[in-house]
């Protein structure tokens, strides 16, 4: 918690709270496939890619190989659960291109946009499986050597933000198999089942979504960073991370929003955009593009968005919030006069409220 008087004359307080709710995982197990698919589609229908490495029994130190058998088991479980799958190699290649474009970007805005927005998969599932040979024994005249699963790891990373959504290590006891293929197939099934359920509750149906939010047309990097505080004051936006200021005046943010991307777009067009244009001038901002989890605002009058306006004009919490919010903050005629300069309809709305 932090706070103080800001240049706009209001005392601002920033609060961050964690609220515990009943785990979604308890009810996920009761869903049939149709219910799961419906829920997944409602929350953006994300795509997944898998890459599982196996350290074979008796292999060289550090030796691993990518395991098609294990991945087939995992992707089969994920597909049966209701997820969409894409091939890892294509995703990895696109992500490398993204890194190269951002690193080498030389003022070409379209190239920079490509680098930030393009992603072939929403979540990258990776992991490693370790096997070992057990001592050779003789049973009924036959020489037998079984294989044990010593440990396995799995991690899910959101590709557009690099956020680790899910990560876990396992050291199973008494897991013995006739051969390596049997062990690999078994652990693939375990990973697939675990990831299917955990991803639904932790990522897909999470009440908070991370949205790539870009503002195109800002004259200065400092203004872009100041706008972060403005966005933080807007209702339903939980957090804002300033990611980058690209050449040709494009600011890139990550916004944590309490709802789906569609709900964020509706909120943006119905409330947030109105608040921004009340604060900086009619027609200064417009929605330029909405694609997947990427939303782009265009600044049509860059001179209207300067450091003085950002800091001294009333915050979006008043200009884009519900009328009850304004009524709770505006206590004097002088304050009402100050805020009304940026919202002509406010006095009438307050009277009606």
Do residues 56 and 191 share a domain? yes
Residue-wise pLDDT tens digits, 314-347: 888 787 777 887 888 888 888 888 888 887 778 8
26 pLDDT higher than 80: no
247 in a domain, yes or no?
Answer: yes
Same domain, 280 and 233: yes
Report the run of H or E that residue 197 belongs to, with start and end: helix 180-199
Q: What CATH number is given to the structural domain containing 157?
A: 3.30.160
Short-list 64, 55, 57, CA closest to 133: 57
The number of domains in the chain is: 2
The answer to which of 25-34, 100-109, 248-257 has the lowest mean pLDDT is: 100-109
- Answer whether residue 103 is part of any domain: no
Give a yes or no: residue 260 inside a domain. Answer: yes
Q: Give pLDDT tens digits for 244-256.
A: 887 666 888 988 8
Evaluate if residue 12 carries a pLDDT over 50.
yes
What proportion of the chain, given as a percentage, has pLDDT over 70?
83
Q: How far apart are CA 190 and CA 100, in angstroms?
A: 36
Is 227 inside any structural domain?
Answer: yes
Lowest-pLDDT range, 43-52, 72-81, 93-102, 248-257?
A: 93-102
User: How far apart (Å, rounded) are the C-alpha atoms in residues 166 and 78?
Assistant: 15
User: Does 161 share its domain with 250?
Assistant: no
103 three-class SS? helix
User: CA-CA distance, 137 to 133, in Å (whole number)?
Assistant: 12
Please check whether residues 226 and 191 belong to one and the same domain.
no
C-alpha radius of gyration, the chain, whole number: 26
Report whether pLDDT(107) > 60: no
Report yes or no: 52 and 188 within 8 Å, Cβ to Cβ: yes
Work out the pLDDT band at 101, boundaries 50, 70, 90. Answer: very low
Q: Note the helical H segments in 56-125.
A: 68-81, 88-104, 109-117
Across 22-43, average pLDDT: 71
Domain with 184 in it: 45-86+121-204
For the segment 276-325, what is each residue's pLDDT rounded down to a tens digit? 898 888 899 998 888 767 888 999 998 898 888 888 888 887 877 778 87
The closest alpha carbon to 213, from 251, 267, 163, belongs to: 251
Q: Is the dihedral of CA 73, 78, 82, 88 positive or negative?
A: negative
The reply to whether 232 falls in a domain is: yes
pLDDT at 237 over 50: yes
Query: Scanning the structure block, which residue is given the tokens 């694609």?
Result: 291
Residue 285 confidence (pLDDT): 92
State the average pLDDT over residues 199-224.
82
55 pLDDT higher than 80: yes
* Same domain membership, residue 67 and residue 127: yes
Assess whether 247 and 161 both reside in one domain. no
Output 163 or 83, whichever has higher pLDDT: 83
| Arithmetic mean of pLDDT, 209-216 | 86
108-154 pLDDT, tens per residue? 444 444 444 445 678 888 888 888 888 888 877 788 788 888 888 89
Question: Does pLDDT of 24 surpass 60?
Answer: no
Domain edge (last residue) among 155, 179, 204: 204
183 and 270 share one domain? no
Of 204, 222, 249, which residue sits at a domain end?
204
| pLDDT tens digit sequence for 155-189 | 988 876 677 888 888 887 777 888 888 888 888 88
- The whole-model pTM stands at 0.57
Q: Give, in order, the Cα–Cα distances in Å from 38 to each of 25, 42, 330.
A: 16, 6, 44
**Is residue 332 domain-resident?**
no
CATH number for the domain harbouring residue 214: 3.30.1360
Q: Are residues 164 and 65 in the same domain?
A: yes
Per-residue CA distances from 89 to 69, 75, 185, 338 (Å): 16, 15, 21, 57
Q: Do 175 and 220 sit in the same domain of this protein?
A: no
Residues 234 and 178 in one domain: no
**Residue 57 and residue 129 in one domain:** yes
Whether residue 327 is contained in a domain is answered as no
Residues with Cβ within 8 Å of 146's Cβ and at least 6 positions away in sequence, in order, are 133, 134, 176, 177, 178
Identify whether residues 148 and 256 lie together within a single domain.
Answer: no
- Mean pLDDT score, 46-72: 81
Is residue 334 assigned to a domain? no
Domain boundary among 204, 234, 254: 204
């Amino acid at each position: 918690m932090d706070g103080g008087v800001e240049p706009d004359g209001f005392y601002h307080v920033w609060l961050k709270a964690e609220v515990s709710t009943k785990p979604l995982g308890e009810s996920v197990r009761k869903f049939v496939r149709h219910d799961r698919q419906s829920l997944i589609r409602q929350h953006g229908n994300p795509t997944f890619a898998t890459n599982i490495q196996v350290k074979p029994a008796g292999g060289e130190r550090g030796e691993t190989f990518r395991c098609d058998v294990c991945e087939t088991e995992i992707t089969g479980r994920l597909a049966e659960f209701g997820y969409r799958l894409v091939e890892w190699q294509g995703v990895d290649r696109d992500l490398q291109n993204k890194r190269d474009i951002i690193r080498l970007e030389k003022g070409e805005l379209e190239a920079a946009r490509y680098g930030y927005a393009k992603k072939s998969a929403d979540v990258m599932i990776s992991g490693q499986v370790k096997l070992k040979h057990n001592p050779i024994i003789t049973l009924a005249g036959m020489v037998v050597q079984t294989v044990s699963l010593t440990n396995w790891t799995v991690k899910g990373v959101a590709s557009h933000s690099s956020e680790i959504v899910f990560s876990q290590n396992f050291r199973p006891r008494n897991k013995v198999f006739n051969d390596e293929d049997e062990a690999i197939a078994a652990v693939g099934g375990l990973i697939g089942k675990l990831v299917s359920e955990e991803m639904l509750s932790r990522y897909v149906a999470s009440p908070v979504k991370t949205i790539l939010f870009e503002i195109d047309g800002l004259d200065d990097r400092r203004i872009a960073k100041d706008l972060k505080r403005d966005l933080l004051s807007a209702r339903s936006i939980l957090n804002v991370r300033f990611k980058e200021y690209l050449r040709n005046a494009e600011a890139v943010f990550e916004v944590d929003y309490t709802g789906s991307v569609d709900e964020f777009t509706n909120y943006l067009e119905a409330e947030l955009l109105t608040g921004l244009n009340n604060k900086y001038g009619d027609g200064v901002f417009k929605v330029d593009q909405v694609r997947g989890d990427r939303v782009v605002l265009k600044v049509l009058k860059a001179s209207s968005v300067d450091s003085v306006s950002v800091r001294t004009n009333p915050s979006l919490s008043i200009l884009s919030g519900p009328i009850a919010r304004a009524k709770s903050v505006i206590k004097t005629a002088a304050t009402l006069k100050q805020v009304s300069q940026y919202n002509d309809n406010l006095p009438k709305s307050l009277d009606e409220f």
